[in-house]
């Protein structure tokens, strides 16, 4: 044992690790995987309600037969619990006003019969008008408002379906925008072309939310674009709308048919079960139903019925409230959980780990999805996606996480599957040396100025967090700084370092996450922790540590970089920072020990776990409480609360810490298995 901790402290940390392992394995599903709740904000509930009114289904039975109006009422009841005291809705607890979210929530509640003069509605209306009125909604909200007759279709960005026919050399080709943008804009191209419109009685509308009748019916944009490009795209939009009045281009009918085929193929409507819905995520799954309705598909059609079932599977009903998840996260949760158990010494010989590894191997991609458009034809399908079924869209982040876990588990089948994932990942390295999420890409700044790019994720460029995690994976597979792809990736990461020494977090909140991911991979590939840029990152981490040893950062830092590393303390972010400290300064670093001490002190005991007030999510003993959103969907637009982040990341940090202190063998794994029960409910 090293000199940094006493035997007493070591035993205390080891006991904490055992409790966390018990908590994690208790939550493992019978077939070996994990999938906890994935929580978003109120737009999931409001957009679902608006969709049902667009489709005219608000009084019809749901896909599973339960009463539609009653179900929508439960969704609305949950949404109302998210309203703030001032009447607004936001992207996460403590965030500023989200105007578009507040408008959609108000409209959804009014459609369901809420009195517009009720105090909660009046407060929401006051916030909306104070912040500029509903005419300042983002483009993806305006699609709903136009479908329900509240604004003119001229106020909605034109998305011509002919984009599906563009040649690959064209600057705006589908392969040059992000995977999630493709799945959103193609169904919306049908919606903006066919222009479905449900006329509502005036008393159900939201006239009272607008300041200007002129701005209400013309295209505006909140995108901060250079004057030239703003003018160019607004002129293009006007030209497209003029062409629309004359039936579009001569190939419009062909384009519409091609878009429908594209959507249905990627929605798995051929019976292949390649995916659970278009993109396997909420927004395109909603847009698909609206687009197909506009194309004349009846609700009884098997394509529509399946689309409804897949979307409604995101419901979580509890206490007569229904909240909606944006998607499922089983491969992500299982990959990280298995990797955390590997850091605690588990291998394929241990039953919980074996079952998880077997389940992950069963989810390996076998389809040449959209990613194949930008790589050599010789690259074989491989890798992993995020959800239960999404074979069209494996991603680098999930692939390298699973490849790390399987490699660490050992066993011939696991190692071979992991190597296939690594080979696939190499093919997706970008020319700048980094990795993006879903595709091999080149950043094209101009695409960010298109009027419907206000979801702040039109593209999928390289980012330091995914690149760093990829390097961590490569190090486990034996790659080092002597390998050219590794050197190029390290150069990319260094080029993205902030002046303070930290790194931006594209997929997690925010600079703590980005720094954790960006630093560990290069060090494990052979970069000297004493190099200046690594030390600068470590000093930044130390500079934001709190007196009690913890770390925390709010997603407010995406809006104001001055808030880097500042926010409520969380278990996940403290774990990320602790792993950075250990990697740079070693296991005896006093600041690392303070972080580990905080994690151990905040772990739920048996008594804590039974108290709803101090444990609002009902976590098992051995887990941690964390109500903050530490996951990122679209920076500045949509954030996520992963309900297992508070458990497997602290376990990972404690496991690495104990391993570095030459911990004795883990408790008998059989006792862990005997105490583990599979539960169906998510955390």
Alpha-carbon torsion (287, 290, 292, 297), positive or negative? positive
Q: Kindly write down the DSSP assignment for every residue of 185-220, as one continuous string.
A: HHHHHHHHHH-------GGGS-GGG-S-HHHHTS--
In whole angstroms, what is the distance from residue 435 CA to residue 466 CA? Answer: 6
Residues near 526 by Cβ (< 8 Å), separated by ≥ 6? 475, 480, 481, 482
Inter-residue contact 600 to 12 (CB < 8 Å): yes
Inter-residue contact 572 to 645 (CB < 8 Å): yes
Cα R_g (the chain), whole angstroms: 25
Longest dimension (CA), the chain: 81
CB atoms within 10 A of CB 264: 16
Q: What value, to the nearest 5°, has the Cα angle with vertex 351 and ends 346 and 352?
A: 70
**Sheet (strand 638-642) strand order:** 38-39, 638-642, 631-634
In whole angstroms, what is the distance from residue 679 CA to residue 623 CA? Answer: 15
Inter-residue contact 355 to 347 (CB < 8 Å): no
DSSP label at residue 85: T
233-248 burial: b if 16+ Cβ within 10 Å, else e: bbeebeebbeebeeeb
Mapping DSSP to helix (H, G, I), strand (E, B) and coil, where does residue 360 land? helix
In whole angstroms, what is the distance from residue 626 CA to residue 505 CA? Answer: 19
Inter-residue contact 423 to 412 (CB < 8 Å): no
Residues near 562 by Cβ (< 8 Å), separated by ≥ 6? none
Helix axes 511-524, 464-476, angle to 10 degrees: 30
In whole angstroms, what is the distance from residue 129 CA to residue 210 CA? Answer: 7
DSSP label at residue 380: P
Entry field: residues in the chain: 683
Q: Mark out the alpha helices in 351-435 (DSSP H runs).
A: 351-361, 396-409, 412-427
In whole angstroms, what is the distance from residue 472 CA to residue 479 CA? Answer: 9
In whole angstroms, what is the distance from residue 455 CA to residue 583 CA? Answer: 35
Inter-residue contact 517 to 579 (CB < 8 Å): no
* Pairing relationship of beta strands 638-642 and 38-39 according to DSSP bridges: antiparallel
Mapping DSSP to helix (H, G, I), strand (E, B) and coil, where does residue 634 land? strand
Residues taking part in catalysis: 397
């Amino acid at each position: 044992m090293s000199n940094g901790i006493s035997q007493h402290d070591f035993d205390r940390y080891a006991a904490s690790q055992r409790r966390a392992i018990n908590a994690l394995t208790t939550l493992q599903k019978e077939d070996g995987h994990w999938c906890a709740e994935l929580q978003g904000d109120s737009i999931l509930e409001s957009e679902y309600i608006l969709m049902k009114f667009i489709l005219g289904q608000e009084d019809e039975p749901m896909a599973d037969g339960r009463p539609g109006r009653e179900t929508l009422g439960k969704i609305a009841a949950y949404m109302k619990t998210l309203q703030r005291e001032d009447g607004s809705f936001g992207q996460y607890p403590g965030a500023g006003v989200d105007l578009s979210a507040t408008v959609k929530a108000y409209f959804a509640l009014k459609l369901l019969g809420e009195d517009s003069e009720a105090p909660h509605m009046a407060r929401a209306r006051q916030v909306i008008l104070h912040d500029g009125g509903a005419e300042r909604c983002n483009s993806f909200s305006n699609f709903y408002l136009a479908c329900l007759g509240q604004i003119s279709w001229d106020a909605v960005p034109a998305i011509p379906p002919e984009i599906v026919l563009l040649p690959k050399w064209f600057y705006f080709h589908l392969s040059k925008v992000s995977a999630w943008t493709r799945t959103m804009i193609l169904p919306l191209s049908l919606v903006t072309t066919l222009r479905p419109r449900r006329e509502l009685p005036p008393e159900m509308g939201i006239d009272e939310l607008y300041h200007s009748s002129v701005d209400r019916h013309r295209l505006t944009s909140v995108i901060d674009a250079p004057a030239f490009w703003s003018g160019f795209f607004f002129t293009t939009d006007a030209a497209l709308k003029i062409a629309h009045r004359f039936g579009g281009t001569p190939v419009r009918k062909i384009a519409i048919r091609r878009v429908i085929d594209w959507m249905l193929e990627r929605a798995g409507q051929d019976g292949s079960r390649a995916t659970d819905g278009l993109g396997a995520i909420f927004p395109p799954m909603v847009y698909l139903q609206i687009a197909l309705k506009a194309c004349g598909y009846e609700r009884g059609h098997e394509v529509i019925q399946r689309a409804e079932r897949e979307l409604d599977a995101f419901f979580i009903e509890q206490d007569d409230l229904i909240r909606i998840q944006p998607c499922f996260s089983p491969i992500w949760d299982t990959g990280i959980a298995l990797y955390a158990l590997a850091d605690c010494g588990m291998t394929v010989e241990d039953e919980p780990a074996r079952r998880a590894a077997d389940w992950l191997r069963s989810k390996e991609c076998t389809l040449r999805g959209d990613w194949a458009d930008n790589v050599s034809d010789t690259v074989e399908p491989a890798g992993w996606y995020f959800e239960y079924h999404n074979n069209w869209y494996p991603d680098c982040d999930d692939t390298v996480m699973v490849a790390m876990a399987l490699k660490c588990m050992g066993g011939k089948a696991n190692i071979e599957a992991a190597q296939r994932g690594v080979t696939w990942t190499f093919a997706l390295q970008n020319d700048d040396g980094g990795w993006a999420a879903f595709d091999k890409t080149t950043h094209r700044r101009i695409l960010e100025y298109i009027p419907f790019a206000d979801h702040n994720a039109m593209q999928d460029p390289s980012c330091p967090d995914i690149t760093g995690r990829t390097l961590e994976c490569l190090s486990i597979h034996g790659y080092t700084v002597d390998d050219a792809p590794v050197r190029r990736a390290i150069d990319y990461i260094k080029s993205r370092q902030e002046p303070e020494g930290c790194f931006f977090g594209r997929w997690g909140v925010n600079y703590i996450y980005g720094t954790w991911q960006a630093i560990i991979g290069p060090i494990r590939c052979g970069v000297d922790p004493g190099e200046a840029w690594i030390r600068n990152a470590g000093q930044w981490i130390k500079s934001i540590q709190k007196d009690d040893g913890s770390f925390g950062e709010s997603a407010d830092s995406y809006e104001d970089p001055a808030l880097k590393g500042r926010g409520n303390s969380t278990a996940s972010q403290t774990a990320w920072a602790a792993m950075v400290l250990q990697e740079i300064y070693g296991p005896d670093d006093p600041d690392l020990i303070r972080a580990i001490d905080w994690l151990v002190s905040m772990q739920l005991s048996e008594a804590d776990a039974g108290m709803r007030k101090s444990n609002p999510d009902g976590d098992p003993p051995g887990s941690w409480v964390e109500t903050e959103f530490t996951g990122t969907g679209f920076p500045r637009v949509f954030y996520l609360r992963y309900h297992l982040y508070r458990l497997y990341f602290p376990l990972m940090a404690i496991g690495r810490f104990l391993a570095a202190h030459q911990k004795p063998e883990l408790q008998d794994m059989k006792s862990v298995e005997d105490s583990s029960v599979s539960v169906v409910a998510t955390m």
